[in-house]
Amino acid sequence: MADTLTFYTNPMSRGQIARWALHEAGADYDQVLLDYGDSMKAASYLAINPMGKVPAIKHGDEVVTEAAAICAYLAVAFPQAGLAPLAAEQADYYRWMFFAAGPIEAAIMNNSFDWIPTEQQQQMVGYGDYDRVINVLDELFATRNFVCGDRFTAADIYVGSQIDWGIQFKTMPKRDTLVAYVSRFRDRPAYKQAKAIDAGLMAEPKDAPDGAGQSD
């Protein structure tokens, strides 16, 4: 696709997931940096994402929000990158990407905020309890190298980011299987490129221009 791709982000956000996905996809993009005070809640951006959250991308006339959806969209929009699942990989691809967007995300956030569901509440929350989620991930990566088996896909960008951050910020335990999984993608050129850009942006003075219209 030759349409212009615009990437809305903040380096200290889940925008890091989308940037990694953009680099894995080999997509050319213009970036718009938004702050949490004004520009993320401005009318111009709310027209892109009414939630006032990042990341978001605009690809031609199409807008995609939510990091998992952006990963899945880019895998299809840039097929030459080989990020989309093969026919035999689709079940694992969608199952575990949605598992990361639902149970993993909820379990980590609630646990970080010290909200531990009671036994009765565990029947209502989608993830049951935090330990169950971690054990499921432990068992998954004890049997495979990547989400879909031996091949890296867009699902690994999203699932991998959740585990990568979980280990880094100590919201997940350093299980041997999870540490080994993360080590398999941290040396990927696209991962390093994307992380270097966001690290550089975080190091810039806070009163620097917001970067609207800058190109990667």
Question: What's the CA gap between 58 and 30, in Å, rounded?
Answer: 10
DSSP state of 102: I
pTM of the predicted structure, to 2 decimals: 0.92
Of the candidates 104, 78, 76, 212, the residue with the CA atom closest to the CA atom of residue 167: 104
Give the pLDDT score at 132.
96
The secondary element (H helix, E strand) that includes residue 31 is: strand 30-33
Task: Name 62's Cβ contacts closer than 8 Å, sequence gap at least 6.
Answer: none
Residues linked to residue 6 through DSSP beta bridges, in sequence order: 30, 58
Residue 85 structure tokens: 């699942």
pLDDT digits (tens), the chain, 216 positions: 458 999 999 999 999 999 999 999 999 999 999 999 899 999 999 999 999 999 999 999 999 999 999 999 999 999 999 999 999 999 999 999 999 999 999 999 999 999 999 999 999 988 999 999 999 999 999 999 999 999 999 999 999 999 999 999 999 999 999 999 999 999 999 999 999 999 999 998 765 434 333 333
Helix (H/G/I), strand (E/B), else coil: 146: strand
Give the pLDDT score at 20.
98
Of the candidates 75, 130, 147, the residue with the CA atom closest to the CA atom of residue 64: 75
Give the pLDDT score at 42.
97
Give the pLDDT score at 216.
32
Rounded to whole angstroms, what are the CA distances from 97 to 36, 116, 157, 208, 209? 27, 24, 9, 35, 35
Give the pLDDT score at 2.
59
